[in-house]
Amino acid sequence: MTQTRGRHARWSLAVLLTSLFMTQLDTTIVNVATPSIHSGLRASGSALQLVVSGYILTYAMLLITGARLGDLPATGASSSAGWACSRSPRSLAASPPRRSR
């Protein structure tokens, strides 16, 4: 029983560290994209702060909701599906735009 408990603790730590890394990575990506957002939308400094804060707040709400769903019994698949659904729009948004001819 102690060996199983240690294994679960390691998995929990790995998931926690991965989620913290993904949060930092997403925040860094949004901050790097700030000059493009500024030039594309002609946004002011305060509008840029609002965009970054809104993105981080939305991401945190979805992360907490997904974690809560993952804690419910027999919903491990819903947590994995939620993670995959949150990653696919981000990967599409990060892909380079198509150039029109």
Q: At a CB cut-off of 8 Å and minimum separation 6, what does 79 contact?
A: 66, 67, 69, 70
Cα–Cα dist 52/13, whole Å: 28
Please report, for the chain, the start and end positions of each structural domain, with discontinuous segments joined by +.
Answer: 17-88
The pTM assigned to this predicted structure is 0.55
Per-residue pLDDT of the chain (101 residues; tens, 9 = 90+): 566 667 777 887 887 788 788 888 888 888 888 888 888 888 888 888 888 888 888 877 877 777 776 666 655 565 566 666 666 555 555 555 666 65
